[in-house]
Structure 1
Amino acid sequence: MSTSMINGSPLKAMLRFAMPLLFGNLLQQTYNIIDAAIVGQVLGADALASVGASSSVQFLVLGFCMGITAGFGIPVAKFFGSGDYQKMKNYVYNGAVLTAGTAAIVTTACALLCHWILNILSVQPDIYKNAYAYLLVIFLGLPFTLMYNYLSSILRSVGDSRTPFLFLAFSAVLNIFLDLFCIIVLGWGCAGAAIATITAQAVSGIACLVYIIKKKEILWLPSECRKVSSRTAKELLTMGLPTGLQYSITAIGSMVMQSANNGLGSIYVSGFTAGMRIKQFTMCPFDAMSTAVSVFCSQNLGAGKYDRIKQGLKEGIAIAVGYGLFAGLILIFGGRTLSLIFVSREAADVLNASAKYLRCMGYFYWALGILNITRMTTQGLGYSGRAFFSGVTEMFARTIVSLCFVGMFGYTAICFADQTAWLCACLYIAPTCFYCVKKVASHTQYDLQ
């Protein structure tokens, strides 16, 4: 079902949209956690370190894929909100062409540079072989990752967040069985965990495509809409590239941070990996709500309803900050217990490292809510370049902490790098977002005169 969010209660509309997206994000993180849990419990702490040693570069590449496809969906949501379905369909087609081209370029480049990437990350010799096997398989599966993320972005742009969730739910269950089969039965080790992940991702992507072809008439593309337009492609890239680069530029700071952490030894690599998995899981509500606010603002921008944009932004921030305070308390007091999902009680040093990372993060989790909502709203209003700069701010903050303070304070500096990045980015993007809302309002009022 395609759902318009230009009428009714903004909060109810956003929450109704966000809930399937939240469950989908939780499921996606669930099979990431299952990968790490099976690897850590079955293959040991060194294997867990192998899987986690490249998590920042995975975030860089996968974040770019998710960001660029999310950006391609912004004009689609805008034209859906305005009711211009002919133009919307042409944007869908051009976005698909650009996504296919991106898949070919990114997959080839990443596969060829895999060894170089691991060397840049200072991956230690004792875990290098397994880290390479895991990362290479993830890279080779990027076309399926882009396929699912683009199709789900398009479905969400027309108000359907339920269908991507259902397919992701099925693939998450499939991933559990594939993990066990590839790692325990076939004995493929870390590479088996990666094969299970990309296979599950491929299933969800193909399922989305079949559903659109069979059921989603509003996204069917007649011949007159299947035309490559340089103007349309340029507009899509103007929206998609800054969004993708924003994720990537943020991840560069994370790569510098992870490289510094990798140099501290496998105990801290394993502890950091366990903490990161828990962090990614607890971030899911932020991602769901910020995406809902972004789509809400895009549709209402197309409909010219400024007051709803302003109201939706304020309500989105309130929900995100409230959740951030709640989740922060869980990380502060329950981080060590949650880390037992990945690490046995005997590995006390690894548990301590993971618990410390989560505890330090919990005090500032509310800031991540403000950052995500205001950044995604800025993107949804069409100001991807301004949102991209918030990612640059995060990158510089993480890089400075990693290069200047890890040598003096060790793992403690790693534990405060994310929070420093969030606060610095908030100082820029929050006022920028409210400025963009006022700017959109002035244009809307001018157009009505």
Structure 2
Amino acid sequence: MYKVLLTLSIPIMINSIIQTLYNLADGIWVSKISSVHFAATSFVWPINFLFVALGIGLSVAGTSLLSQLLGADKYKEARKYSSQLMAASLILSIVFTLLGVILSPYIIKLMGGEGYFANLANTYLRISFLDLPFMFLFFNINSMMNAQGNTVTPTILSAISALINVVLDPVLIFTFNMGIAGAAWATVISRIVLTLSGFIIVFKEGNNLKPDFRGFKADKNILQEIVRVGLPASIGQAGASTGFMFLNGFIVSYGTATLAAFGMVNRITSLVMQPAMGVGAALTAVVGQNLGAGRLDRATESFIKSSKIALFIGVIGGVIIFIFNKPIVNFFIQSKDEPEVIIQSINYMKYVAFSMPLMGMFSVFQGIFQGSGNTKYSMYMEIGRLWAVRLPMILIFKNYTAFGPTGIWFSMSVSNLIVCIYGLFVYKTIGWKRKRLSEE
């Protein structure tokens, strides 16, 4: 089982790290202009992610349902699901792109963005919305490949795309003097290349999940099943991104230095935790296939061994971040125009280091709940972490203590502990395994 999990998860880990490098590359190059420019990219991330949430839900549904169908040797039905999934993704992503471009300045204003800072944020966000159709479609492509156990190909495609982004960033930002808009356009162009390359692969004859749109008609039953599995994951992601929008609204009240520190450290920890997140993503496919084949024992074994791997990664990541916090921050914060950004980033990293193992377990709980089709529990974890724990704690620290930004850093770490306790409670007591098998 360790071999199975690592074989599947290592390419996903690399792929996830590459995806994170999109934002990191933008952040590093933009931070060379000023910390305000970097803070603007961090400020609008939750807004863009709110629209991406449904695409992630469709991706979760795709991996879960397709892997279970393949595990039960229902190839013809699986191909129907892949066609319906891709059509729904394309239509929804176009609608979201239009809404995002129109609503962008109003949302930024509601979050507290003003003046020059708001103009920078709006420029970056509006361009970023243009890559939604390509991002949604690649989510589908990724689900099809992961469900078949092919995690290497998406990694190779993502690596090429990330390389294009890294090369284009300085060219568009500085050579063509496009500033923050250049960073956004670099990401859009690289994602277009990524998705077109993926199309070439999934539409080949050898693909067991090759979509077929000849005489295509929407299938109500299939779409309902996709919604049943995918909607809770989408709601969870949307609830989390909405929570981060409110969170950024609170954080910006402490100043752009605090916001820049918050955004930078979150990107660093996201990069460090990608291996654990890769294990969780691989677990989704492993659990789905084994439940589809009626192998409950293998599904349970995969969870236990994934937990051990994720905890090990979390401990190592936490130690690295705690010991080397200063050089790491100095590398990623290229502009030294605000020393306060460096000070607050180092302080935040010390707090977050202790919750790294918990972040790994969070990904594993997400993997087993999504793989078994019980996505409502992953939804509760996503939403609960922010709305039930993190935001109330931050409000209490802000209004009733003199902790300042430290209250934010402490709340971030404690919320990871509480939500993992909830995940363990669900796993041990509610019986997700028996419920899913009885539905089958």
TM-score of Structure 1 vs Structure 2, range by shorter chain:
over 0.9
Deviation at 1:199, TM superposition (A): 1.2
CA-to-partner distance for each residue in 1:221-280, whole Å, 9 max, x for gaps? 457894421011000011111111111212222222211111111211222222122122
1:231 aligns with 2:225: no
- Give the counterpart letter for 2:433 in structure 1: V
Is contact 1:393–1:424 with CA below 8 Å preserved after alignment?
A: no
- Give the counterpart letter for 1:411 in structure 2: P
1:29 aligns with 2:20: yes
Decide which moves more: 334-343 or 16-25.
334-343
Distance 1:328 1:214, change over 3 A: same
Residue among 349, 372, 377 paired with 1:358: 349
Deviation at 1:362, TM superposition (A): 0.7
1:280 aligns with 2:305: no
Distance 1:444 1:349, change over 3 A: closer
- Give the counterpart letter for 2:244 in structure 1: S
Residue among 260, 276, 286 paired with 1:270: 260
Is contact 1:175–1:196 with CA below 8 Å preserved after alignment?
A: yes
Aligned to 1:420: 414
The CA distance in 2 between the partners of 1:446 and 1:412, in whole Å, is: 46
The CA distance in 2 between the partners of 1:68 and 1:411, in whole Å, is: 36
Deviation at 1:377, TM superposition (A): 0.6
- Aligned-residue CA RMSD (Å): 2.0
- Give the counterpart letter for 1:110 in structure 2: G
Q: Map 1:96-115; keep pairs closer than 5 Å.
A: 96-115=86-105
Unaligned runs of 5+ in 2: none
Is contact 2:109–2:118 with CA below 8 Å preserved after alignment?
A: no
Distance 1:446 1:419, change over 3 A: closer
The CA distance in 2 between the partners of 1:114 and 1:292, in whole Å, is: 35
Unaligned runs of 5+ in 1: 1-9
Deviation at 1:93, TM superposition (A): 1.0
Decide which moves more: 45-54 or 165-174.
45-54
Aligned to 1:395: 386
SS of 1:159's partner is: coil
Residue among 145, 150, 153 paired with 1:160: 150
Is contact 2:173–2:180 with CA below 8 Å preserved after alignment?
A: yes
The CA distance in 2 between the partners of 1:111 and 1:65, in whole Å, is: 17
The CA distance in 2 between the partners of 1:275 and 1:443, in whole Å, is: 38
1:122 aligns with 2:122: no
Distance 1:270 1:84, change over 3 A: same
The CA distance in 2 between the partners of 1:446 and 1:420, in whole Å, is: 35
The CA distance in 2 between the partners of 1:236 and 1:278, in whole Å, is: 33
- Give the counterpart letter for 1:355 in structure 2: I
Decide which moves more: 79-88 or 280-289.
280-289
The CA distance in 2 between the partners of 1:120 and 1:215, in whole Å, is: 49
The CA distance in 2 between the partners of 1:205 and 1:221, in whole Å, is: 15
Aligned to 2:65: 75
Residue among 137, 140, 153 paired with 2:127: 137
CA-to-partner distance for each residue in 1:288-325, whole Å, 9 max, x for gaps? 00001111000001000011011100000111111111
TM-score (norm 1): 0.92
Distance 1:98 1:356, change over 3 A: same
The CA distance in 2 between the partners of 1:232 and 1:143, in whole Å, is: 21
The CA distance in 1 between the partners of 2:261 and 2:436, in whole Å, is: 50
1:150 aligns with 2:140: yes
Is contact 2:369–2:432 with CA below 8 Å preserved after alignment?
A: no
TM-score (norm 2): 0.94
Is contact 1:54–1:121 with CA below 8 Å preserved after alignment?
A: no
Distance 1:222 1:68, change over 3 A: closer
- Give the counterpart letter for 1:89 in structure 2: R
Deviation at 1:15, TM superposition (A): 0.5
Aligned to 1:16: 7
Aligned to 1:3: none
SS of 1:53's partner is: helix
Aligned to 1:406: 398
Distance 1:56 1:336, change over 3 A: farther
Residue among 233, 244, 247 paired with 1:243: 233
Aligned to 1:7: none
Is contact 1:377–1:433 with CA below 8 Å preserved after alignment?
A: no
Distance 1:129 1:309, change over 3 A: same
SS of 1:318's partner is: helix
The CA distance in 2 between the partners of 1:222 and 1:268, in whole Å, is: 50
- Give the counterpart letter for 1:259 in structure 2: G
Distance 1:445 1:30, change over 3 A: closer
Distance 1:417 1:124, change over 3 A: farther
The CA distance in 1 between the partners of 2:336 and 2:101, in whole Å, is: 37
The CA distance in 2 between the partners of 1:418 and 1:154, in whole Å, is: 34
State, as a whole percentage, how many aligned pairs show the same letter: 22
1:329 aligns with 2:329: no
